[in-house]
């Protein structure tokens, strides 16, 4: 038997080393295994056991108790790894059914129905012969390498994206400098043009003055010549007085050119706009979130007492105001649902078959009702206020920066001011191709600079805030009736047509995945409360709406 070594850097090797000494970085040969301490012990630690009364009754395993199959072992092989779930307990059991090591508590809790739980220590030769440690080590190395490479690649991508983004800032600054240079050239040309105009007027006036001066000089000479002839002198003097009077009167009429200057007045609008800007643009993180997981909270029956004779109310539009959902449904009804209490709290009647609903103020919504936009106060009670008559049908409706955006449920998108003045109509792209087949609800992204129109035939049609067409996302799995945003850059789509799904898209409109499938037909509207992370959905084929909890893996 090799002698015990007190050196921390001993070159001697032992099949088993003392557990307690190893914790102090001392390498000593273990002679026995203490069952109660669940540690290997050297001679010194064995001696300590004999001196301490509380340790005297401990049981030890040595060569004589080692049971090996054809192999000679100095000590029983006994695991020392502690359970991560149950502190202080050793993983000394093995469940062959689940191929998992466990402690006594794990066996009692998770494997009580398993009939093939064995002791690792007393079955180690059979168990170890079935275990490919080199393969496990190789797989661990592969996993470590993959995880290391993943984050290395992720950091490299992040670094590259930072360099690209900084270059984009520089490029944009150069672009803005070119723009400002062009504006400077335009302003200088305006100054030059005004200068030439004024110069021409002044030169013309100066020519007239030169003619007057010549006349005055001639009169002056004539007065000098007539000094010996009193009658001639009188006549010349009167002519000079008349000429002077005429020139002075003409001078009063030309007071507009007594001062000829050009002044440049900077654009206060541009100056104020630039002063409001804190940077040249926006730094957007492209971190990819997982698709929402939706858990149903409750069904909402939109028919209330005294409406039973209506048989069914079909839900057609919705929006969030505070912690309430305002939704429209058939039979000209507008209703309010309290998310926190999961109750219907209020209702009112609106005209002409309401569809889209959007928030236009802290306590006001606009409802697309046939060929009318009806404004509704949502203070303590739902109550109608003003309305705007349109020259077309109204389906989807959205509001941003004092503008209303309305679809007709067909092939046109309209932009109005809040007084009902038509600002723009969009039906086709720059090549004259139709943009819509059957447009439905509309929404703005979280930055209010992109408008997304759901079209059951085309997909998601994207515009800027001026209703200039940008692109169409033509994913066959995205054929929206209803669309909304979640406040985090995601677009939520209520798919109609053949696949009754609620789909999550990114801020560019590209599909991320399916949030939830539904057995109910014709999903018509969806809205999300981003603070409470609740999703409200309504159907055009049922009087039942649904409320969901939304969670992300990154939450």
pLDDT of residue 241: 85
Return the closest-CA partner of residue 440 out of 408, 477, 484, 473. Answer: 408
The answer on pLDDT for 185 being more than 80 is yes
The answer on pLDDT for 428 being more than 50 is yes
Q: Quick one: pLDDT band at residue 309, thresholds 50, 70, 90?
A: low
**Which residue shows structure tokens 């470590």?**
144
> Which token pair is 178?
């070119």
Q: Tell which wins on pLDDT, 98 or 121.
A: 98
Give the start-end residues of each E strand in 110-187. Answer: 117-119
- What percentage of the chain has pLDDT greater than the value 90? 32
Q: What is the pLDDT of residues 23-35, one digit of tens each?
A: 787 888 888 888 7
> What residues form DSSP beta bridges with 188?
none
**Which residue shows structure tokens 């739980």?**
117
Q: What is the mean pLDDT of residues 354-359?
A: 95
Lowest mean pLDDT among 53-62, 226-235, 433-442: 53-62
In the CATH hierarchy, which fold is given to the domain comprising 293-551? Neuraminidase (2.120.10)
Concatenated DSSP letters of 473-522: E--TT--EEEEEE-SSS-EEEEE-TT--EEEEE-TTS-EEEEEEE-SSS-
Give the pairing of strands 534-539 and 523-529. Answer: antiparallel
pLDDT of residue 201: 83
Return the closest-CA partner of residue 462 out of 484, 480, 444. Answer: 444
* pTM for this entry: 0.52
User: b/e map of 42-55 (b: 16 or more CB within 10 Å)?
Assistant: bbebbeebeeeeee
Rounded Cα gap, residues 185 and 188, in angstroms? 5
**Which residue shows structure tokens 């170890």?**
128
Rounded Cα gap, residues 405 and 453, in angstroms? 10
Q: What is the mean pLDDT of residues 532-542?
A: 88
Lowest mean pLDDT among 305-314, 361-370, 535-544: 305-314
On whether the CB atoms of residues 378 and 365 are closer than 8 A, the answer is yes
The answer on pLDDT for 487 being more than 90 is no
User: What are the extents of the domains in the chain?
Assistant: 19-126, 136-276, 293-551
Helix ranges, 77-132 (H): 104-110, 124-129
pLDDT of residue 527: 95
């Amino acid at each position: 038997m090799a002698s015990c070594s007190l050196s921390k850097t001993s070159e001697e090797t032992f099949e088993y080393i003392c557990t307690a000494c190893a914790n102090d970085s001392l390498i000593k040969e273990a002679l026995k295994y203490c069952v109660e301490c669940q540690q290997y012990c050297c001679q010194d630690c064995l001696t300590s056991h004999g001196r301490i009364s509380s340790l005297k009754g401990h049981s030890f395993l040595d060569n004589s108790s080692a049971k090996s199959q054809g192999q000679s072992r100095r000590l029983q092989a006994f695991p020392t790894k502690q359970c991560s779930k149950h502190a202080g307990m050793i993983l000394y059991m093995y469940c062959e059914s689940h191929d998992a090591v466990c402690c006594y508590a794990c066996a009692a809790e998770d494997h009580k129905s398993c009939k093939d739980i064995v002791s690792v220590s007393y079955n180690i030769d059979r168990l170890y012969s079935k275990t490919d440690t080199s393969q496990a080590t190789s797989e661990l190395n592969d996993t470590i390498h993959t995880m290391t490479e993943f984050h290395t690649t992720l950091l490299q991508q992040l670094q590259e994206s930072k360099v690209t983004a900084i270059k984009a800032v520089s490029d944009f600054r150069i672009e803005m400098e070119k723009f400002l240079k062009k504006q400077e050239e335009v302003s200088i040309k305006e100054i030059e043009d005004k200068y030439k105009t004024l110069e021409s007027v002044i030169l013309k006036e100066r020519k007239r003055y030169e003619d007057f001066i010549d006349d005055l000089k001639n009169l002056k000479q004539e007065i000098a010549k007539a000094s010996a002839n009193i009658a001639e002198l009188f006549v010349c003097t009167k002519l000079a007085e008349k000429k002077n009077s005429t020139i002075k009167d003409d001078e009063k009429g030309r007071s507009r050119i007594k001062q000829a200057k050009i002044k440049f007045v900077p654009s206060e609008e541009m100056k104020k706009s630039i002063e409001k800007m804190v940077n040249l643009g926006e730094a957007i993180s492209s971190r990819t979130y997982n698709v929402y997981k939706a858990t149903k909270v409750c069904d909402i029956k939109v028919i209330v007492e005294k409406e039973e004779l209506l048989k069914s109310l079909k839900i057609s539009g919705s929006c969030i105001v505070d912690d309430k959902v305002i939704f429209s449904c058939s039979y000209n009804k507008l209703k309010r649902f309290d998310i926190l209490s999961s109750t219907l709290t209020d209702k009112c009647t609106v005209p002409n078959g309401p569809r889209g609903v959007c928030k236009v103020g802290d306590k006001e919504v606009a409802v697309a009702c046939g060929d009318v936009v009806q404004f509704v106060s949502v203070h303590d009670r739902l109550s109608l206020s003003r309305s705007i008559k349109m020259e077309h049908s109204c389906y989807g409706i959205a509001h941003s920066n004092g503008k209303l955006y309305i679809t007709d449920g067909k092939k046109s998108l309209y932009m109005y001011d809040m007084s009902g003045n038509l600002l723009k109509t969009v039906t086709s792209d720059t090549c004259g191709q139709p943009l819509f087949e059957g447009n439905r609800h509309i929404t703005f992204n979280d930055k209010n600079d992109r408008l997304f129109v759901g079209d059951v035939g085309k997909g998601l049609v994207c515009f800027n805030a001026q209703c200039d067409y940008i692109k169409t996302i033509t994913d066959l799995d995205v054929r929206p009736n209803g669309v909304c945003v979640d406040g985090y850059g995601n677009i939520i789509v209520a798919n109609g047509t053949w696949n009754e799904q609620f789909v999550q898209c990114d801020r560019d409109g590209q599909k991320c995945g399916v949030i939830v499938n539904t057995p109910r037909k014709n999903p018509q509207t969806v809205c999300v409360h981003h603070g409470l992370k609740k999703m409200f959905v309504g159907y055009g084929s049922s009087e039942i709406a649904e409320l969901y909890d939304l969670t992300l893996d990154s939450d």
